Structure 1
Amino acid sequence: MFHRRKTYTIRPERLEEFTSFFHTYLYPIQVSHGARLVGRWVTEDQTEVMALWEYRDREHYEQVERDYRASSLRREAMKKRARLGKDLYIKSSEEFMMPTGHYTPPRTIVSVTAYVTNDAGEVLLVQNMHRNDTYEMPGGQVEEHESIIDAVYREVKEETGAEIEVEGITGIYQNVSSRVLCVTFRARYVSGELAPQPGETQEVGFYKIDTSNISDYIKREHFQMRVLDAMDPTYLPHAIYKVRPYELLERVESHHTV
């Protein structure tokens, strides 16, 4: 892992304003492009705020920075800071650190992706800014306290502009190298104007995909596997629930398409 310690010097009377600015702009900009916030601290005299960010490696950090600089939310943040005044924070500094060991249990990142078809039987594919060597199904990381169902609706909307209706889970895939567990859904397109999203996707569209031409669009084998499984799926049973007290939010039995 690769870590960046970002320190902001602030005026104590502006701590609340800076915290709001951080949560509205700085945090979502980084997280939406793959960084993880390890923690955020303020000194007792409230003159410094320190945030510790985690990346897979320096290459990942540099990619996040490129995506961050190109994002529309960053432009909004700059405008907001101009309105709040440049002394929202007096200065900032950053240091980079490498871990000396692993002291916490391994974490698994849960992501979702969707095989979305339209009335013509075409499949919704995207070409991401950070993976522009291939097309793939839209998707992304599940946020904290978010259900996988809510996540797939949100990710497809954010990456493509499409509203969808989920039909079921067609597969679960684990990348042990990066500790990512991906849940793939099959869904149908309902509405929405398709458009690339700044900082997320550079191409979005429906394509006629089958077993004979899949490699013309999807270049990575693990992405191909998810699409092929979703073409003629057996839907997996799943349940979403809360505990203390128990509340079943969604339950779907297994079935096969006909």
Structure 2
Amino acid sequence: MIVRKKTYKITPDMLETFNHFFHTYLYPNQLKHGAKLIGRWVNESQTEITAMWEYESVEHYHSIEKDIQQSELHRAAQEKRKENGHLFLECHEEFLSSTSEKGTYFPPKHIVTVSGYITNEKGEVLLVRNLHRSDTMEMPGGQVEEGERLDDAIHREIFEETGVHVTLTNVSGIYQNHSRDITCIVFRGTYKSGTLQPEEGETSEVLFARLTEDNLSSFITREQFKVRVLDAMKTQTVPLNIYHVQPFQLLNRYGDNNK
């Protein structure tokens, strides 16, 4: 296994633009072709962004890069860079090995993701169709970034993928994909505001649908996503506290009856 560390130099005023570019073009294209995002960081002065990607081998990396270079999403990204002008000032990358030798990088063993079971006033459920999983619809969601709160991550992911704002109520389940070391936390919530709109380069379809146990398979074809929706349809909740320590400060709690 190898790790690619890519660093981008930016001006602080371009941070939001670069983040949108990353989530719209770079991240989904790497993920679609088999790369694994370890994490992404921005320095305090907002002048440097670092992303770390994991590959099975050097050959695996080159194979993925070849596929990406030939993809429609890559061509769209190149056009977007031309429109934005100086999206970043410069970038450089280096490769690290996960070994016991001094100075090498040890990637985290787990990735945390969030997903949202969001209903509207009609009781319909918010669903998306991702470009890299076009065979099924699913609840909106994505990876929690380094240093990001779980509830902030699900708010961000839902807005990016669907164009709507939501109110979170509680947590319905926690799921571990042991083969890929991914743990997913599913939130329940309700529609608050906004107009449904697919995210360019990420989602091809966004809608509210009336879901039942009988018609679920006509929308969601992957078993792991079906289970999460079926659990969210039930009434049980999983308490979740988000807090600081030293001293202890409760930032938010989900799972209370009044939430």
Which whole-Å deviations, capped at 9, do the CAs of 1:23-47 have from their partners, x for residues lacking one? Answer: 833896177435537799xxxxxxx
2 CA distance for matches of 1:242 and 1:129?
37
Q: Within 5 Å, which residues of 2 pair with 1:48-87? A: 53-56=52-55, 58=60, 66=71, 69=74, 75-81=79-85
2:222 aligns to what?
220
Deviation at 1:251, TM superposition (A): 2.4
TM-score (norm 2): 0.73
Give 2:53's aligned amino acid.
E
Question: Is 1:29 matched up with 2:33?
Answer: no
2 CA distance for matches of 1:208 and 1:63?
38
1 CA distance for matches of 2:247 and 2:21?
31
Deviation at 1:209, TM superposition (A): 1.0
1:14 aligns to what?
none
2 CA distance for matches of 1:234 and 1:110?
22
* Secondary structure of residue in 2 paired with 1:194: coil
Question: Is 1:104 matched up with 2:112?
Answer: no
Aligned 8 A contact 2:2 2:98 in 1: no
Which whole-Å deviations, capped at 9, do the CAs of 1:82-119 have from their partners, x for residues lacking one? Answer: 699xxx55xx8889x79575873752111100011111
2 CA distance for matches of 1:214 and 1:159?
21
1:20 aligns to what?
10
1:193 aligns to what?
195
Give 2:165's aligned amino acid.
E
2 CA distance for matches of 1:105 and 1:158?
27
Which whole-Å deviations, capped at 9, do the CAs of 1:25-79 have from their partners, x for residues lacking one? Answer: 3896177435537799xxxxxxxx9x7742455476667664852666x645333
1 CA distance for matches of 2:120 and 2:82?
39
1:136 aligns to what?
138
Structure 1's unaligned 5+ residue stretches are: 8-17, 41-48
Give 1:36's aligned amino acid.
L
1 CA distance for matches of 2:54 and 2:233?
34
CA 1:136–1:230 in 2, change beyond 3 Å: closer, same or farther?
same
1 CA distance for matches of 2:4 and 2:219?
36
Which whole-Å deviations, capped at 9, do the CAs of 1:234-257 have from their partners, x for residues lacking one? Answer: 111110001233211012345599
Deviation at 1:175, TM superposition (A): 0.5
Deviation at 1:148, TM superposition (A): 0.7
2 CA distance for matches of 1:121 and 1:26?
33
1:178 aligns to what?
180
CA 1:55–1:239 in 2, change beyond 3 Å: closer, same or farther?
same
Of 192, 202, 205 in structure 2, the residue corresponding to residue 203 of structure 1 is: 205
Between structure 1 and structure 2, the one with the greater Rg is: 1
Aligned 8 A contact 2:198 2:205 in 1: yes
Aligned 8 A contact 1:238 1:251 in 2: yes
Aligned 8 A contact 2:110 2:182 in 1: yes
Let me know the Cα RMSD of the aligned residues: 3.8
1:245 aligns to what?
247
2 CA distance for matches of 1:185 and 1:126?
16
CA 1:229–1:81 in 2, change beyond 3 Å: closer, same or farther?
same
- Which of structure 1's runs of 4+ aligned residues deviate more than 2 A? 1-7, 21-28, 30-40, 55-72, 74-84, 92-95, 97-106, 251-257
2 CA distance for matches of 1:177 and 1:83?
36
2:45 aligns to what?
none
* Secondary structure of residue in 2 paired with 1:234: coil
- Aligned pairs, number: 231
